[in-house]
Amino acid sequence: MRKTVPDPPYSPDSTQILQDTLVQSSEYVLCALSVARQSVQLEPTAHSSIVMQAVIHEMEAVQGLVESALMQLQMRPHLPTEPHTLH
């Protein structure tokens, strides 16, 4: 017997999509940090290096938040699931 309704298109788990987005965000943060650090090293006495140091500080904070979110997301499947009621 032939199926009259095709299978729905494959859609990855939303958790996997979020994890991929966080990994990509982490890579962008690392690139931004590298550029800012290189800028400070090239002209350490320039006025803009003070601004770049502030950018580095803020991007390091962002990097910590992204890494923390990624770790929490990766630990989620290992946590015991609580029973949910359907209302």
Inter-helix orientation angle 14-42/47-75, to 10°? 160
Whole-structure pTM over 0.75, yes or no? Answer: no
Residues in the chain: 87
- pLDDT top residue among 65 and 4: 65
What is the rounded average pLDDT of the residues 47-72? Answer: 96
The answer to whether 52 touches 61, Cβ cutoff 8 Å, is no
Tens of pLDDT along 1-57? 677 787 776 667 888 889 999 999 999 999 999 999 999 999 999 999 999 999 999
pLDDT at position 87, please?
56
Q: Does the pLDDT at position 76 exceed 90?
A: no
Please tell me the distance from the alpha carbon of residue 61 to that of residue 65, in angstroms, as a whole number. Answer: 6
